[in-house]
Amino acid sequence: MEGYSFELITGPMSCGKTEELLRRIRRCIIAKKKVKVISPDVDTRAKGDYIESRNGLWLDAIKVKHSMQILSAVKDAEVVAIDELQFFDSNIVKVITQLMNEGKKIIGTGLELDFKAEPFGSMPELMCIATKVDKLHAVCMKCGCEHATRTQRLIDGKPADKSSPLIMIGGDETYEARCIKCYELPDIQGKKKSLGLKLLNFSKD
């Protein structure tokens, strides 16, 4: 049980989560730890078995479809890095708890909110069991402020509405980091706009 920990790095799209993960992994490699990197099979951002951050750094990663597969994949590792945690099935919480019980150091990244500004996958539970949580902010792509906490989905350049599916892989959609003021979530086809403040339980009208 020597020094188990679970460090979770979270925030919106383009806040530097994967860059920060790679920075921490490099330090573990310098310390001569046995490191294994895991990424979910749904993520099409990286081509092949490695993860790539937006500044071009990359690292070999094992692609995993079901979270239970992580246990056998990282048996001999001292440090387990997991990218894009929001995409894993709900067993990911048990899997990470077990890895902590085995005394491993886990470093993970994940989007805390989906494009509808609702908690993404198992991220709420993972934030609870983490021994350290870092919330990174991005630069808002609309107003340029440094407090972007939301991920805006755009389809043909327009904000996607509430009926858009949670996960779109390989579609024509793009994503932008936005601050709470610039974030938009149209109800239906852009007719009615909401600021996505549902979680705060008040309406603008």
Pick the closer one to Zn ion by CB: 95 or 182.
182
Q: List the one residue from 13, 51, 117, 140 that touches Zn ion (CB under 5 A).
A: 140
Under the binding rule (CB under 5 A), the answer on residue 137 touching Zn ion is no
For the window 162-181, what string marks contact with Zn ion as x by the rule CB under 5 A? -----------------x--
Q: How far is CA 151 from CA 6, 18, 65, 185, in A?
A: 24, 16, 24, 11
Q: Which is nearer to Zn ion, 143 or 167 (CB)?
A: 143
Piece in contact with Zn ion (CB under 5 A), picked from 1-9, 33-41, 123-131, 139-147: 139-147
117 touches Zn ion by CB under 5 A:
no
For residues 64-98, one letter each, b for 16 or more C-beta atoms within 10 angstroms of the residue's C-beta and e for the rest, the string is beebebbeeebeebbbbbbbbbbbbeeebbebbee
For Zn ion, the binding residues in 60-99 under the rule CB under 5 A are none
138 binds Zn ion (CB under 5 A): no
For residue 128, give both structure tokens.
Answer: 């609870």
In the block, residue with structure tokens 């310390």: 31
Contact indicator for 58, 72 with CB cutoff of 8 Å: no
Interface ranges with Zn ion (CB under 5 A) = 140, 142-143, 179, 182
